[in-house]
Structure 1
Amino acid sequence: MPMEIFKEFTFQAAHRLPNVPPSHKCHRLHGHTFKVALHLRGPVQEPYGWVMDFADIGQAWEPLHQQLDHHFLNEVEGLSNPTSENLARWIWRKLRPTFPMLCQVVVHENTTCGAIYRGEDD
């Protein structure tokens, strides 16, 4: 029976949403401490007793962290409109080739708002 695991990461970044009206608060430059949870589903591998080594997930995340942390997200290739939804999809597309067991990417832009992407568009 498959097991689902997750590993969470945080990064700080600035962005603005260019497609909302100028009167909308998110049209202005602002920042967040984003939290990202990567969920993977698969069988428990024996003799290790795990689905995957969490360190391997961390290694795969590191290049994305370097691209995102303390950057202006609108300038990151593929994130010209960096909503939580688009960020979750962008992360999925970057990591899914490495992790076929990736089943969900969760992005929190603060403690009460975020997006969940499960690869529906891919």
Structure 2
Amino acid sequence: MIIYKSFTFDSAHFLPNVPPHHKCRNMHGHTYHLTVYFEGEVTSPEGWVLDFALIKNAVKPIVDQLDHTILNEVPGLENPTAENLAVWIWKSINGKLDGLKKIELKETPTSGVIYEGK
């Protein structure tokens, strides 16, 4: 079974490696939507794969670190594309809880990335 929990955060960034006239080279912001997915068996006697409170406790400090920041200033995110941000988030979550399956990070309602740790 796969369960998920969603989070949002607001951050600004610029993409330093795009061509000089690309609009994303300028500072701009997004309301990011992050969904983390965990896979496992339903346990007894609880009847769940993983306590949603445990997921929140593991992921919220990471989200709080990114919320209302300039992502380029976060160590390891000097080129904060959605793809690089997804990898950074994965590495920050992975190992905190068993069963991390994938993360989905939406930069806008119509654009985002799904990362499965590969």
TM-score by length of 1: 0.94
Match for residue 48 of structure 1 among 30, 46, 53: 46
Counterpart among 28, 31, 34 of residue 30 in structure 1: 28
Q: CA deviation at 1:75?
A: 0.3
State the Cα distance separating 1:100 from its structure 2 match: 3.1
Matches within 5 A, 1:28-107: 28-107=26-105
Residue correspondences, number: 118
AA in 2 matched with 1:79: L
Q: Alpha carbon RMSD of aligned pairs, Å? A: 0.7
User: Deviations for 1:47-96, whole angstroms, at most 9, x for unmatched residues?
Assistant: 11110011111111121122100000000011111111111111111111
- SS of corresponding position for 1:50: coil
Q: Which runs of 5+ in 1 are unaligned?
A: none
Read off the aligned partner of 2:29 and give its amino acid letter.
G
Deviating runs (4+, > 4 A) in structure 1? none
**1:82 is paired with a residue of what secondary structure?**
coil
TM-score for the superposition, normalised by structure 2: 0.97
Quick one: distance in 1 between partners of 2:55 and 2:16?
A: 32
- SS of match in other structure, 2:39: strand
